[in-house]
Amino acid sequence: MEQPDTIIHQPVRLKIMSALKVLPPGEMIEFVRLRALVQVTDGNLGAHIGTLEESGYVEVEKDFDGKKPRTRLRLSKSGRKAFADYVSYLKDIIEASQP
């Protein structure tokens, strides 16, 4: 990878991807919990999740917890690979800058 993944490289999306990466594969996080971790507004978070979902990096499930609507998400397999590639790209930059 010669350039960083522009989808992941955006700071809020990088935070989202990082928060999701620490979850075990298949496990989901609720929107409200992710919002607290990333510290952005509902609308901002929703827009960035939409971009990540369109790219295939996250999977979003909407359902109800009793009568309350609930949105949950997780990294997809391609999202996990894209994030691993992004981290590898950053490591290569660091290694290349070492004397």
* 99 pLDDT higher than 80: no
Query: What's the N-to-C CA distance of the chain in angstroms?
Result: 22
Predicted confidence at residue 71, as pLDDT, reads 95
Q: Can you read off the two tokens belonging to residue 58? A: 């996250």
Residue in the block written with tokens 């359902």: 63
CATH number of 6-90: 1.10.10.10
- Closest to 7 (Cα-Cα) out of 96, 98, 76: 76
Hey, how many other C-beta atoms are within 10 angstroms of the C-beta on 47? 14
Stretch 3-11: mean pLDDT, rounded? Answer: 93
Q: What is the pLDDT of residues 12-53, one digit of tens each?
A: 999 999 999 999 988 999 999 999 999 999 999 999 999 999
Whole-model pTM: value is 0.90
DSSP per position, 79-90: HHHHHHHHHHHH
Q: Is the pLDDT of residue 2 over 90?
A: no
